[in-house]
Amino acid sequence: MDKETDPQLHVPEPAIRPGDTPDFSHVEIPRAGEVRRPDPGENPQEMRDLAFSIIRVLNRKGEAVGPWADSLSDEALQEGLRHMMTLRAYDARMLKAQRQGKTSFYMQHLGEEAIACAFQKALRKGDMNFPTYRQAGLLIASGYPMSDMMNQVYSNEADPVRGRQLPVFYSSKEHGFFSISGNLATQYVQAVGWAMAAAIKGERKLSVGWIGDGSTAESDFHGALVFASTYKPPVILNIVNNQWAISTFQGIARGGAGTFAARGHGFGLPALRVDGNDYLAVHAAAAWAVERARRDLGPTLIEYVTYRAGGHSTSDDPAAYRPKEEGAAWPLGDPILRLKTHLIQKGLWSEERHTQAEAEVMDGVIAAQKEAEAIGTLHSGNRPSPREMFEDVYAEMPPHLVRQRHEVGY
């Protein structure tokens, strides 16, 4: 044996901290179009390479290149741009509303808009997402009314979840958006259970689990992979790697693994790694995984590489743990800008139309906001009755709750 060494705790550290100059040169980024596209039916053991590269479609010039291109029509691309712009405008208004004291809390999607917006377009009615708090794009891309989103954020009388949940914890069965939990990762394994149920019933529906990079460390992530790997139900397991988990960089959760996608290899699952700021790449990867599910070929794990450009939530100030300029230095760019460039390059869009669209989108958001605020905001106007506090604990209210409700005077 070689010489012994005193052991040390190896605590991973990000390369850069406040005061340093942002540097992403260690992030290996392949050129767009470079990664192969195997047939969805190919043996997962034969496609391990896909977990160590990044599937990209849009190149620097905004062209769609390579085998993952062309999954979307021109109209769909324009719609996609509008969804992302809507989400960004929505975020901006809600952040402001929170600062104005109209609600208690908000979480934005800045820089990550492509992922949920594009993914949703690969699904159909009857499919079910089990989202985290950073996938409102799923609702927007599925046509959920924005005023209802705001009613939820404001916990007003029209809030679909009756004021019970923290802002952004939406729920819509109709739109394939499972009620958000707030406990990280718990819903990842539920997504697998939902797909198992679809398999048991032989119904052609699939489910989608969503999780953040940091949350993959949780137990439910393992439970999900174990059950998915064992019963092979129609589920897609998405990991949104936005580089940060509040103040903790992704190296802490990832440890010695090269990538999060690699986690799938221990379970024999096909694992893709995708440019999360590339609307086209996200959609193509989603469609590939959806095809696997619809052909009953089993689950797919997908890691989206992106960057959380904003604070974790309105309670967070990222300047305390990363350089302010880090976002601007992020090498995968801005998803809206990239799709816009692509559309312009294709002759489907222009700077003028974009400016106009921005105004239209903002008008829409403001109109929805007016509608919602006319009903009420957290501390003013109509809010759900205290009576509702006691409802839906059970289908039927048991005697002890009736008693407690009476004590409050209802």
Ligand X SMILES: Cc1ncc(C[n+]2csc(CCOP(=O)(O)OP(=O)(O)O)c2C)c(N)n1
List the interface residues with a copy of itself, window 255-274 (CB under 8 A): 255-258, 262-269
Torsion of CA 278, 283, 286, 288, to 10 degrees: -110
Catalytic residues: 308, 312, 321
Residue 168: Cβ within 10 Å count:
23
Given a copy of itself, ligand X, another protein, none, residue 191, with its beta carbon under 5 to 8 Å by kind, binds another protein
Q: Check residue 213 for interaction with Mg ion (CB under 5 A).
A: yes
Given another protein, a copy of itself, Mg ion, none, residue 242, with its beta carbon under 5 to 8 Å by kind, binds Mg ion
Size of the site for ligand X (CB under 6 A): 15
Residue 153, classified by CB atoms within 10 Å of its CB into exposed (0-12), middle (13-18) or buried (19+), is buried
In the chain, the amino acid numbered 274 is V
Q: How far is the CB of 166 from ligand X (least distance, A)?
A: 10
* Per-residue contact string for residues 36-55; x = within reach of a copy of itself by CB under 8 A: ----xx--xx----------
> Is beta strand 376-377 parallel, antiparallel or unpaired with respect to 380-381?
antiparallel
Helix (H, G, I), strand (E, B) or coil at 175: coil
Q: Give the sign of the dihedral formed by CA 356, CA 361, CA 362, CA 366.
A: positive
Options 204, 324, 379, 406; binder of a copy of itself; rule CB under 8 A: 204
Options 71, 165, 238, 277; binder of another protein; rule CB under 8 A: 165
Q: Which is nearer to Mg ion, 112 or 127 (CB)?
A: 112
Q: How far is the CB of 98 from Mg ion (least distance, A)?
A: 20
Q: For the segment 238-267, give every residue that binds another protein (CB under 8 A).
A: 245-248, 252-253, 255
Task: Give Cα 26 distance to the centre of its chain.
Answer: 25
H or E, element range at 304: strand 300-305
* Per-residue contact string for residues 349-378; x = within reach of another protein by CB under 8 A: -----------------------------x
Rounded to a whole number of angstroms, the distance between the first and last alpha carbons of the chain is: 76
The answer to whether residues 21 and 322 touch, using CB atoms and an 8 Å cutoff, is: no
Q: Which is nearer to another protein, 193 or 270 (CB)?
A: 193
Given a copy of itself, ligand X, Mg ion, none, residue 388, with its beta carbon under 5 to 8 Å by kind, binds none
Give the residue among 289, 261, 247, 240 at the shortest CA–CA distance from 68: 289
H or E, element range at 271: strand 271-275
Helix (H, G, I), strand (E, B) or coil at 89: helix
* Per-residue contact string for residues 227-256; x = within reach of Mg ion by CB under 5 A: ---------------x--x-----------
Helix (H, G, I), strand (E, B) or coil at 209: strand
The size of the chain, in residues, is 410
Q: Check residue 155 for interaction with another protein (CB under 8 A).
A: yes
Q: Check residue 298 for interaction with a copy of itself (CB under 8 A).
A: yes
User: Interface residues with a copy of itself (CB under 8 A)?
Assistant: 1-12, 40-41, 44-45, 195-196, 198-200, 202-204, 206, 217, 219-223, 226, 228-234, 252-258, 262-269, 287, 291, 293-296, 298
